[in-house]
Amino acid sequence: MTLDLTRRSLLKFMGGAVAGVVLSPMPWKLLDDASIWTQNWSRIARPPRGPISWRDTTCTLCPAGCGLRARLVGTSFVSAWPVSGHPRSAGLVCPLGLAAAQMRFHPARLRGAARREAARIDAPWLVVDADGAVTDLGRRLAVRRARGATDGLALLDLRPGRAMSQLYREFLDRQGGGLYLTLPDAWQASAAAFGGLIAASAVAGAPAPDLSRARSVLSFGAPLHDGWRGGFPAGDSENGHRPYLMQIDAAATATALRADRWLVARPGSEAPLALALAHVLVNETLNTDPRVAALADAPHGPAGSFRALLADFSPERVSRVTGLSPSALRDTARELANRRPALVVGVGDPGGGPLGAEEEAAVWSLNLLLGSVGPDGALGLLPATGIDFADGASPTATSLNDIPDGSLDLLLVDGSFPGAPVPRELLRRKLRGPDSLIVALSGFAGGAAALAADLVLPTPAPGEWTDDVPTPTLAAHASYAWSPPVAAPPDWAVHPAEWLARLETASGVTGNFTSGRARHEAELVRRAALLQSRGRGQVFDPRDGNTTGIANLVDPNALGSVLARGGCWLDTASLALDDRDLRLLGRDGELAARWRSLSGGRPGGSAGDGAEPLLLTIGGDLAVAAGSVMPPVLNKLYRESELHGGSRKAALNPATARRLGLADGVAAELRTEHATRRVVILHDPSLPPDLVRLASGPGPLELGDPGEPQTDILELGGASQRPVWRLTRVVLKEVRDVNA
């Protein structure tokens, strides 16, 4: 018997089958069951129910410390909003702060103590017994103390100046000594460069640029519209509501696109560019100002004078290095002189690390020539010890960059989110041997603290504990705030001060100590009382939006009460500098030789023989490059909108890409003398030729998706080996057999 299957019979069969499916209740029943199941699935997020309330706090996702108003449904923290009139944020909050409520549920959050083989960048995290981990660490500390060792132990504080910073120092002191380490970011490096231009005998002070007092601003890559501390004044530059902004930037950043004038200068030419502007100010625009003449002609030993140095940096000479015409350089200097008070800021792109000590010194020299410092200028000077809470604390702070490689057996890392990315390899290089450990006090398997760690002891997420927020570097005014909790931490998240107390107990340190959390709270109260006792400054209360003078507070605990409900203390003190205190060539005149060595631009290194003449710049905005773990909503936004390309996309000019045979979207290998990384090519016509730009974040881990193992992006520029790593030579080659 054979089956006689014709086209007609096949069509009749298919039609009958379709009709049977439609008439049968089976598929509709299955769809109904699936719908009911998905609506009652245990993993579906349940919207909280309850009364709506609001609670004020301070954001700790970067050092800026903006005011946040938390919206709660019942006891659940569901969203964050800006606080109107807040003195630290002017009633604004960046995307990072607006998404703060999601940090408690981040995919990278650890739910217990976790260990991994940190030597492998793709090593998985394994949850371990927290008590056992603390016992093991305590044993290490006890052995070290018993043999009288004074080295090998260090604690890295990524947000110095807080109450926890005091407890970290006390912990090291009770362990018989150890190194209290900090890692200066680009903002702190800029402030340090300013200090190098002030005579050692002068009153120490911190620079405080105030954008709201400037008529014009020249920015060397600073993110004024995308993360500057205090924000950029809104309004129209023509009628004086905001300063006239000139941005020096090779990439089309948010600030460059919104500037009144965008100067596309070659990366690495910032020092000669600033000195060319100084040349115009001294020899042309401000040459009749006796104050400027006195500063420029002041003798500086063998280095001569600042005016003599500027002879080597005329706009005609510097034009070739910067890529800007002599007329553009002269017009920029004239604009600053004509629109005073003028302000010049450095710092650069926060994702690219420090701009360089020589570049920052040249930038601050422009401010001094323009008369920006003082009551009539846009650059204030804060007392360096205006709110110094140190109470005989020891040991003193040491920069992580200043300690030798291979010198530590145990490195504890504070889990606060810093204001810049932290090179993973820089931390690993400080370890002595294979048995040495990096232990992070952090709530996340990522970010600056945990990226290099062998062991993570989980702490509360931002918004789940009270931290204090001291004055951000380069802020216009000194300030102090607390971040009162708006949500309860889970059981596994332990206060960082409690971890210290447990380690002390496990190591055999004895004494009549209170709990770690009680010690931290006592230090917070002490600081508030100290500020109030000085009787200086004002306090902002978010409850009514009013600002009151400290001298008007009657209750001795009044300031602490306001800080506990999300308020902020704001200082009113400032310093003045005498022209005799200024040293445009540095205290010892050493800047002259260093500036001359950079007259051709900062070198970018070499990628080896046969390298294409390409220069890699690493950068990124504050939200994605702050060494923190990004909120999930920003991960989704940046992934799907490509608002930020992410650390897997290498952008370059289409003409350069065509010369190299690299089509848009192809996979490529990016190689420097320091490391290699797989990337996807992105054509960006806004970039200058022969320039490759790579975002320093977000990486796969920050996005909650480990993906394939990737080289630490900062190491492409050699961040663990040199202080200025924002540009380096690079080779790009297409790869056809591997997905980037």
Ordered mean pLDDT values, 10 residues apiece, the chain (740 residues): 52 55 54 56 66 95 92 93 89 86 89 88 87 96 88 94 94 93 91 90 84 94 79 67 92 89 94 97 93 90 89 96 96 96 90 90 96 87 70 78 94 89 89 94 88 94 95 91 96 96 93 84 94 92 93 92 95 82 87 93 60 77 62 74 74 94 93 90 91 76 50 82 87 75
Torsion over CA: 104, 105, 107, 110 (sign): positive
Query: Which amino acid would we find at residue 27?
Result: P
- C-alpha distances (whole Å) from 168 to each of 5, 159, 670 are 84, 12, 40
Query: Which of 336, 340, 342, 350 minimizes the C-alpha distance to 229?
Result: 350
Q: What is the pLDDT of residue 245?
A: 96
Q: What is the pLDDT of residue 139?
A: 95
**Assigned CATH topology for domain 196-381+581-597:** Dimethylsulfoxide Reductase; domain 2 (3.40.228)
Q: What is the pLDDT of residue 606?
A: 46
Strand partners, 411: 154, 438
Query: Are 187 and 64 contacting, i.e. CB atoms less than 8 angstroms apart?
Result: no
One fold for 114-185+393-466+487-514 and 196-381+581-597 = no
Q: Which residues are CB-contacts of 294 (< 8 A; sequence separation ≥ 6)?
A: 579
d(CA 287, CA 280): 9
d(CA 71, CA 463): 12
Query: Are 381 and 577 contacting, i.e. CB atoms less than 8 angstroms apart?
Result: yes
Q: What is the pLDDT of residue 2?
A: 46
DSSP readout, 309-343? HHTT--HHHHHHHHS--HHHHHHHHHHHHHS-SEE
d(CA 420, CA 62): 9
Q: What is the pLDDT of residue 661?
A: 93
Give burial (CB, 10 Å; 0-12/13-18/19+) of 334.
middle
Query: Are 342 and 378 contacting, i.e. CB atoms less than 8 angstroms apart?
Result: yes
CATH code, 114-185+393-466+487-514 = 3.40.50.740
For residue 253, what are its two tokens? 């950043």
DSSP at 373: B
DSSP readout, 42-109? TTSPPPP-S-EEEEEEE--SSTT--EEEEEEETTEEEEEEEPTT-TTTTT---HHHHTGGGGGG-TTB
d(CA 705, CA 700): 5
Residue ranges of domains in the chain: 7-39, 114-185+393-466+487-514, 196-381+581-597, 614-734
CATH code, 614-734 = 2.40.40.20
Q: Which residues are CB-contacts of 515 (< 8 A; sequence separation ≥ 6)?
A: 498, 501
- Residue 677, SS3 per DSSP: strand
Give burial (CB, 10 Å; 0-12/13-18/19+) of 226.
buried
Q: What is the pLDDT of residue 541?
A: 95
Instruction: Provide the whole-model pTM.
Output: 0.88
Q: What are phi and psi of 486, to 5 degrees?
A: -120, 0
d(CA 540, CA 693): 42
Say how many C-beta atoms besides its own lie within 10 A of residue 227's C-beta. Answer: 26
Q: What is the pLDDT of residue 228?
A: 75
Q: What is the CA radius of gyration of the chain?
A: 28
